[in-house]
Structure 1
Amino acid sequence: MNGLAPRPYTIEEYTRTVCPGCFAERARRSDEEGTFVDGMLVSHDGKIWMRRWCKKHGQTESLYEEDADLWRARTGWSTPTLNVVPDRADNFAGFPEGYRLGLPASHGQHTCILLLNVTERCNFSCPTCYADALAPTDKETADGPSIAEMLHTVDTTIAREGGKLGVLMISGGEPTIRRDLMEFLTQAMERPITRILLNTNGRRIAKDDAFLRFLADHRDRIEVYLQFDGFRPSTHLILRGEDLSVEKGTALDRLQREKIWTTLVCTVLKGVNDDE
């Protein structure tokens, strides 16, 4: 048309994203001005790619989905969302601004999974940490909310959900470093929650018989999301900074022996463990 060449890609949808160059220089908070930039998902070569523009670093592109047809099929499915009870009915601001005043009226879906961070600390020292976790201390609940505070969040969500919560996911940091975790889980199970998922690196499961027995006794309510990156020592050395192959295997064997529902959750790094 008019002698103009077509773009080498097809625009699938517009979005807001972040610049990898900016984040390589310094991690940024979601509520920090300038964190988000305009972007779009595009397709070419049978894949979906994220393209974005930054005033400082220009245009960048990264792989978003390896199979464009699979992505289209997945995003083409939809169902009506459920109504939510906002903290302020007049708050229609978008993300992240709208959430500074609680749940906004513009929130598009109910709480499918309540993700509850129970500590900011961890007993691993991974070279790259998603949570920027701190080292553990001798304090009972080091830098984490109290049981009463956590239950208040759970109860508020249950009330907002009409009296029942589908899934409560316990995360951190590493939640199992809390010595009062079993007490909290016991009280959480007294509430109308269908399933409780425990995100964990597995260290306590591999070593603590009493904790393993607690999980086994409540396998009908609690399941484990186990961090498990692979079987080779080299994989763990690169991703976690130490050889965890034996410890991870022990944790998995103990969970399997006790018939505790377990999902393996991995971090995949190209050239490191993408073949495992």
Structure 2
Amino acid sequence: MVDKIGETNTLCPVCMKTIKAEKIAEDDVVYIVKTCPEHGSWKVKIWNGVEHYKYLYEFAAVPKTPEKFAVPQIKDCPHDCGLCNQHMQHSCLNVVEVTNHCNLNCPICFATANGCGYDYHPDMETIRGMFKTVVDYVKSPRCIQLSGGEPTVRDDLPEIVRMAKEMGIEHVEVNTNAVRIAKDIEYLRALKEAGVDDFYMQFDGTKDDIYLQTRGKSLFELKEQAIANCAEVGIGITLVVTVSPNINLDHVGEIIKYAATKVPTVKGVHFQPISYFGRYPVDPENNDRVTIPELAQAIEKQTKGMLKADNFIPTSCSNVYCDMKSLSVVLPDHSLFPLTTMALGPPKKTDDVADKTRGEVSQFWRFIENSMDGEDENRSDDGSWRTFVSRAKTHYLTVSAMAFQDVWTGETDRWERCCIHVVTLDGRLIPFCLFNVTNNEGETLYRKKTFCQ
């Protein structure tokens, strides 16, 4: 039985013109179905579990719209984005690309680094202008991610970080493959001293046969050295995993277990189900995709229920079908004590998702603190609530995921609610997925024309 459960606008995977699409439910799977008059039809899997998909509507409410818009009223969303007054979410994270050069040549690369057909390596004044866009259009606290390419190929990256801080950007994260910070600890120290707050580190598994497929070379030993260097310098890391059903979906539990042994240097694991833009190894079929519910179920199974699918909730910012997140305390035996759960029920407002999570955790802490009174003070610290609370301040782990949209899966409804934006040279903020989207021939909608001015 096939049920129509929604409508949206999307892109043709060939010409990238805006076309209409339907969302249908069939055999407990949600698909987006679309037809281009010139190039044919597509039926693409976007979610597993129809009732769960419908239930998440309860999370959706009025978002926080941007206070300022960089472009006037547009004619054809998503072709003249920037952000416009149709955009329905403020900016939480701004991606500033500082190069398209890279010291790897990965088979999987959203930016097609080292092979995009143009050279992009802006000077300091150009980067200053991009930071000014963030300062002008984003309300404090301002968070940026320096990306590329590989940002650490720039010897002047510490100066770039320092400039960002001086201009009023509070949080600076560096997106890196970790090659240089593993090999050059003095460069790492310089980044720390300049003001880098954390690293967003490419990490596809704990076995080199995975890296040979995703990155083209053995890298696990180098990743471990980078983590050790960050521990020595005192800077946190989020491990970022590109998840492919054909390569490492069966390895996600091991990655979480590994991360738990590297806390407190490792602060989180962020899974990104593979999206087909930029450079990728196959022409995607539905069995080449991993949906967020499939990933959550795989995590539950592979961790033997230590982290359950029910422990993941949507965040307060992006569209409810874009991401999931959990927060756990890491116990001395490296097991996880989850603090988030869908069993609490959805909040009634999008803005309340983060507040609800904080509220539940706050209530939990108050319960713990109350339990410290009286008898608890006379107990040994081993196994006490006091020990738990003390450990939880540093030994925690977020496990999250974000399903980026490609030209086959993209929906205008989700682009309009995106809170992760790429800063362009001409002073615009473009949703990350939309900025990186490419058609079936690898042609870009925004990336090349924006960075080839």
TM-score, structure 1 length as denominator? 0.78
Distance 1:50 1:257, change over 3 A: farther
2:190 aligned with 1:214: yes
Distance 1:266 1:35, change over 3 A: farther
> What are the Cα deviations for residues 212-251 of structure 1, in whole angstroms up to 9, with x where unaligned?
21344467x5111111111121111111111112112221
Separation (CA, whole Å) in 1 of partners of 2:2 and 2:44:
13
Distance 1:187 1:57, change over 3 A: same
Distance 1:71 1:223, change over 3 A: farther
> What are the Cα deviations for residues 31-64 of structure 1, in whole angstroms up to 9, with x where unaligned?
xx54444323323333322322244664332321
1:76 to 35, 58, 75: 58
Distance 1:55 1:92, change over 3 A: closer
Q: What pairs with 1:121-200 in structure 2 (closer than 5 Å)? A: 121-134=101-114, 143-162=120-139, 164-200=140-176
Letter in 2 for 1:127: P
Which deviates more, 207-216 or 114-123? Answer: 207-216
Note if contact 1:93-1:104 (Cα within 8 Å) is conserved in structure 2.
no
Note if contact 1:233-1:245 (Cα within 8 Å) is conserved in structure 2.
yes
Letter in 1 for 2:24: V
Aligned to 2:8: 15
CA deviation after TM superposition for structure 1 residue 202, in Å: 0.7
Note if contact 1:166-1:194 (Cα within 8 Å) is conserved in structure 2.
yes
Aligned to 1:25: none
Note if contact 2:200-2:237 (Cα within 8 Å) is conserved in structure 1.
yes
- Considering Cα pairs closer than 8 Å and 6+ residues apart, tell me whether 1 or 2 has the greater RCO: 2
CA deviation after TM superposition for structure 1 residue 174, in Å: 1.0
Aligned to 1:27: none
Distance 1:185 1:216, change over 3 A: closer
Which deviates more, 263-272 or 208-217? Answer: 208-217
Aligned to 2:249: 274
Q: Matched residue pairs, number?
A: 247
TM-score, structure 2 length as denominator? 0.50
SS in 1 for 2:109: coil
Gaps of 5+ in 1: 1-7, 23-32, 136-141
CA deviation after TM superposition for structure 1 residue 177, in Å: 0.8
> What are the Cα deviations for residues 139-182 of structure 1, in whole angstroms up to 9, with x where unaligned?
xxx632222221222223212235x2431111111111111111
> What are the Cα deviations for residues 52-77 of structure 1, in whole angstroms up to 9, with x where unaligned?
22446643323212344444344432
Aligned to 1:26: none
> What are the Cα deviations for residues 94-130 of structure 1, in whole angstroms up to 9, with x where unaligned?
433323xx54333333222111111112111112321
> What are the Cα deviations for residues 1-25 of structure 1, in whole angstroms up to 9, with x where unaligned?
xxxxxxx2332322233455x4xxx
Note if contact 1:157-1:165 (Cα within 8 Å) is conserved in structure 2.
no
Note if contact 1:94-1:106 (Cα within 8 Å) is conserved in structure 2.
no
2:252 aligned with 1:252: no
Aligned to 2:29: 47
SS in 1 for 2:224: helix
Distance 1:83 1:60, change over 3 A: closer
Separation (CA, whole Å) in 2 of partners of 1:213 and 1:113:
24
Aligned to 1:240: 215
Letter in 2 for 1:96: P
Aligned to 2:202: 227
Gaps of 5+ in 2: 252-453
SS in 1 for 2:54: helix
Separation (CA, whole Å) in 2 of partners of 1:180 and 1:111:
27
Aligned to 2:42: 60
Separation (CA, whole Å) in 2 of partners of 1:112 and 1:94:
24
Note if contact 2:152-2:176 (Cα within 8 Å) is conserved in structure 1.
yes
Higher helix share: 2
Separation (CA, whole Å) in 2 of partners of 1:73 and 1:218:
45
Letter in 2 for 1:176: T
Distance 1:182 1:94, change over 3 A: same
SS in 1 for 2:35: strand
